[in-house]
């Protein structure tokens, strides 16, 4: 798409560091988190239901309702000790906000980790994130049905347009595609959530114990491999979703579905137990039903 901002164009050129193109995940990281033009580093209201925001999440509910349900569910899940033994840690909350707000709570303390801050998790913690993992950079791969090969996709600039291009073989990440299907008869795109995997691994390798609760958009590997030929990557702006991730970088949110199978496997590898996948509605109905009833009444 045409480049409208010389500042954005210069930032992209600087990020290339003399290369002809950059891997897709590097482009996404630049568009979202670059200190000069990144979507998440700009002073802008991103989350909410008003016309100036770009999307809303569960936290856009009346804050006290969301917070009360989260407190109730967290307490219900504690199997060892009491809530007062744990610090409630929220990762990647919006600036000057957190999910619990000023609500009374039974926890030892509340800690909020903002964008760019280190993951310093207390020894006993309830770690919570909402759409943190699905906001991480991802790699893009495209299957060529003629050659039966997967090609990793990068981004370059041609005639003042951001354009997808197959990365040179020497730059391709061949480890990621080892589990990808090779019997497809159509051109197929897979957006693989490498950033979500890396972020999760950075979190769980820390020396803490307790609960990890995360709400994200995700799919099983089988659906990623078979039901989304154009990939799951998408962007949001002014409450409109589109698939043109290369349009106006820095002005739109970019996301892709996480892979549940892979994340569950990673958690198990780090000795997490009682790993459970369910919809957000089912989660609160199971672990916060008393509070839901109380709020309704």
Say if residue 260 is exposed, middle or buried (CB neighbours under 10 Å; 0-12, 13-18, 19+). Answer: middle
The percent of the chain in helix, strand and coil, each rounded to the nearest 5, is 35, 25, 45
**Distance, CA of 9 to CA of 161 (rounded, Å):** 10
Which pLDDT band holds residue 239 (cuts at 50, 70, 90)?
low
What pLDDT was estimated at residue 115?
81
83-118, pLDDT tens digit by residue? 999 999 999 887 778 899 899 999 999 999 988 789
What pLDDT was estimated at residue 268?
96
Which pLDDT band holds residue 2 (cuts at 50, 70, 90)?
very low
Average pLDDT over residues 185-210: 95
Q: Quick one: which of 267, 289, 250, 292 has its CA closest to 40?
A: 250
154 or 98, higher pLDDT: 154
Domains of the chain: 1-37+139-192+220-256 (no CATH), 57-135+196-217+257-297 (3.40.50)
What pLDDT was estimated at residue 56?
47
**Residue in this structure with the two tokens 């892709």, named with its chain if needed:** 256
- What is the biggest distance separating any 2 CA atoms in the chain, rounded to whole angstroms? 63
24-62, pLDDT tens digit by residue? 999 999 999 999 999 988 875 555 455 555 444 555 455
222-237: b (≥16 Cβ within 10 Å) or e: eebbeebeebbbbbbb
- Give residues with Cβ within 8 angstroms of 49, minimum separation 6: 56, 60
Alpha helices, DSSP H, located in 174-220: 194-204
The two counts, helices (H) then strands (E), for the chain are 8, 14
């Amino acid at each position: 798409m045409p480049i409208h901002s010389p500042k954005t164009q210069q930032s992209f050129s600087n990020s290339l560091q003399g290369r002809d193109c950059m891997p897709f995940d590097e482009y996404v990281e630049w568009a979202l988190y670059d200190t000069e033009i990144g979507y998440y580093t700009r002073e802008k209201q991103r989350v909410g239901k008003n016309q100036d925001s770009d999307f809303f999440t569960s936290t856009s509910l009346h804050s006290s309702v969301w917070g009360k349900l989260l407190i109730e569910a967290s307490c219900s899940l504690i199997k060892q000790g009491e809530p007062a033994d744990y610090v409630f840690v929220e990762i990647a909350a919006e600036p000057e906000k957190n999910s619990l707000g000023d609500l009374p709570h039974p926890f030892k303390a509340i800690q909020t980790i903002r964008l760019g801050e280190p993951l310093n998790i207390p020894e006993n913690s309830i770690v919570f994130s909402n759409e943190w993992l699905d906001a991480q950079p991802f790699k893009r791969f495209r299957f060529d049905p003629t050659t039966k090969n997967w090609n990793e996709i990068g981004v370059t600039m041609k005639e003042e347009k951001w354009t997808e291009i197959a990365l040179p073989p020497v730059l391709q990440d061949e480890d990621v595609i080892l589990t990808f299907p090779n019997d497809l008869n159509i051109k197929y795109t897979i957006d693989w959530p490498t950033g979500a995997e890396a972020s999760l691994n950075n979190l769980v390798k820390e020396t803490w114990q307790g609960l990890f609760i995360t709400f994200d958009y995700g799919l099983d590997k089988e659906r990623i491999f078979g039901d989304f030929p154009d990939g799951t990557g998408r962007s949001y702006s002014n409450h409109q979703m589109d698939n043109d991730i290369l349009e106006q970088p820095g002005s739109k949110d970019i996301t892709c579905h996480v892979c549940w199978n892979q994340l569950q496997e990673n958690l198990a590898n780090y000795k997490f137990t009682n790993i459970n996948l369910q919809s957000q509605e089912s989660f609160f109905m199971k672990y916060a039903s008393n509070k839901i009833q109380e709020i309704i009444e």
